[in-house]
Amino acid sequence: MVPNVETGCKALIKLTENTDSRHRSTTELMRRLWREHIRHFTGWLMLAILLMAVMASATAFSAWLMKPVVNDVFIDRNQDLLWPIGLAVLATFLIKGFANYGQAMLMNFVGLQIIADTQNRLYAHLAHMDLAFFHARSSGTLISRFTNDINQMRNAVSNAITSIGKDFLSLIGLVVVMFIQDWHLALIAFFIFPVAIFPIVRIGRRIRKVTTNTQEEMGLFTTLLGQTFQGIRIVKSYGMETYESGRIAEIVERIRRLNMKAARTQMLTSPIMETLGGLAVFAVIIYGGSRVIEGETDSGAFFSFITALLMAYEPMKRLANLNAGLQQGLASAERLYALLGVKPRITDRANARALTNVVGAIRLDDVRFFYEPNKPALDGVTIDVPAGKTVALVGPSGAGKSTILNLIPRFYDIDSGIITIDGIDIRDVKMESVQANIALVSQEITLFDDTVAANIAYGRGGASQDEVIKAARHAAADEFIEQLSSGYDTIVGEQGIKLSGGQRQRLAIARAMLKNAPMLLLDEATSALDTESERKVQTALSELMRGRTTLVIAHRLSTVVDADLIYVIVQGRVVEKGTHAELLARRGAYKRLYVMQFEEETSGQPLVAAVEA
């Protein structure tokens, strides 16, 4: 009889249940695994278990065949039964082989589908998290969830179902054969094995703890590798290869020790099962041999029993190791579900509507924002950006200028005050519609390991090649792109490593131009350009900004002298506002900043701007 998949999972839950909180957690995890992953493949799993049942029956039948082989062929020397018994053995192994192939293919299909579905679900979940979530977690830790954790979980599910379907059914079939051949010997053989349950459960608990620690270290390892590979220029320029190799060696050693501890713990099941197996075979040989000698049973039945007992040893050993492997997978599932359980702090309100017919008037009214408690990054900031106008934010580093830009697309949510677009609170509209109407060029350029054309067209699905080229020309990028090995089809490398800083900046500007949004946010958009390229890009930006709402952050004040309005931000507050001419006439913070920057440019020596004074 083929067991139901859900019944099998419930059996596993019973196997791992206990009264303490840890094992109540294990029970919950098993139920969640069933509910969210396994039950969607019930049909495929039932077919796989049916094939496992065929395989188990063939295994048991091959053990039973030892009786006629010994009695009829070797002892009675019955020529008529030689071929039928031989063909029966051959057919049994053929059936067993094909059934094993079928169930293995089905289990791999289910396992790989679980990996794909879980990875897609996890990425979709993380893609909607806010920036604060990613700033609080290393990229390596998140990547580890996609690779190590999900694979461990898949292996646990596959091994658990396979052990229930194949090993458990094979064991049942072989036990039946043993009881048919000699129930006295069967009772003696299986009286010993329940003793193994307690140490095996204890081993499983230790494995789960070690696995959790190992996965955490793997996340740190992935993060460190990513950081050193991306920053390899800095590593080499400062001669830090030996230092970084030492850091890698330390974490590799910690991972090795944890893996060794896990292997050492898991392998404890081997001497336990070998010892108990040896005791069982010893008892069977002594007691069963005496029964054969005394004529109480025949040699065929005894050899059939011994064959079944020896064949039962492997599935029994795999079942003994099942708990350890299961705990490894559950440790990964626990980490995965904890991540899936994190909710984004910035979400659309229930009644949020789409932002349509955008003119682009932006207003921040008495906005306060904190990255850390009691340390306001913005302290009562009020800024008006009229529709179609260009407004510049200037001030010293760390004053809060980039924070203002990050609040408008709702990368973060304000702590108090209000931000509106066309008079509508951005918290009352869908974030997607807000961000769709904003083009952002940041000083931190992000390019993907794809073609130049794909990077320019990013965020503008369906853009034609002509539109991409036009945007590149406006961004003064077309000339250098044409000189690349494959032109617009050139792969730029990770983070655009194959391009110079100025080239990367111009691709980012071309991307914003192609998006053609009514609102532009420019954060040091020309900071990495040489004088000639900056002049070209400024001309293109001037054309692009015409008729659009533009909020600009600029270090070089010469780039914002034509802005309609300039706000001077110092320590999270607006200290001055006006046109370039008006602010110079006031002889305040802006005047001091302008004079010092002019002196720095003419002297070639950097000066510390005391704008706060």
Indicate if the pLDDT at residue 443 is higher than 50. yes
Across 222-231, 271-280, 380-389, 427-436, least confident range: 271-280
Find out whether 402 and 408 touch, Cβ atoms under 8 Å. no
Closest of 43, 40, 14 to residue 164, by C-alpha: 14
Q: Rounded to whole angstroms, how far apart are CA atoms 497 and 118?
A: 31
**Start-to-end Cα distance in the chain:** 86
Q: Which of 270-284, 331-345, 561-575 has the highest mean pLDDT?
A: 561-575
| Banded pLDDT at 11 (limits 50, 70, 90) | very low
pLDDT higher than 80, residue 4:
no
8 A C-beta contact, residue 72 and residue 81: yes
Model pLDDT, residue 7: 47
Each residue's pLDDT tens digit, 301-343: 878 878 887 787 778 777 777 777 777 788 888 888 888 888 8
Per DSSP, 349 falls in state: -
DSSP bridge pairs for 375 = 372
What pLDDT is recorded for position 1? Answer: 41
Residue with more model confidence, 23 or 103: 103
Task: State pTM to two decimals.
Answer: 0.74
The token pair that represents 7 in the structure block: 């019944």
Percentage helix, strand, coil for the chain under 3-state DSSP, each rounded to 5: 65, 10, 25
63 pLDDT higher than 60: yes
List, in order, residues 6 or more apart from 189 with CB less than 8 Å away.
178, 280, 283, 284, 309
pLDDT score, position 344: 86
> Would you state the pLDDT for residue 132?
82
pLDDT > 90: percent of the chain: 19
Say what the pLDDT of residue 568 is. Answer: 93
The string of pLDDT tens digits covering residues 580-610 is: 999 999 888 888 888 877 655 554 444 344 4
The answer to whether residue 514 scores a pLDDT higher than 60 is yes
With beta carbons less than 8 A apart as the criterion, state whether 602 and 585 touch. no
Please tell me the predicted confidence (pLDDT) of residue 498: 85
pLDDT value of position 8: 45
The answer to whether 414 touches 367, Cβ cutoff 8 Å, is yes
Residue 2 confidence (pLDDT) above 50: no
Count CB-CB contacts under 10 A for residue 112: 12
Q: Is the pLDDT of residue 413 over 60?
A: yes
Average predicted confidence (pLDDT) for the chain:
81
**Residue of higher predicted confidence among 133 and 219:** 133
String of DSSP letters for 32-79: HHHHHTGGGGHHHHHHHHHHHHHHHHHHHHHHHTHHHIIIIIIIS--G
- Residue 6, pLDDT score: 46
The amino acid at residue 103 is: Q
174, 176, 180, 186 alpha-carbon torsion, rounded to 10° = 80
Cβ atoms of 114 and 157 within 8 Å: the answer is yes
Give residue 248's pLDDT.
86
**Angstrom distance (rounded) from CA 222 to CA 224:** 6
Where does the pLDDT of residue 200 fall: very low under 50, low under 70, confident under 90, or very high at 90 and above? low
User: CA 496, 128, 227 angle in degrees (round to 5)?
Assistant: 35
Of residues 159 and 337, more confidence is placed in: 337
Please check the confidence at residue 5 and state whether its pLDDT lies above 70: no
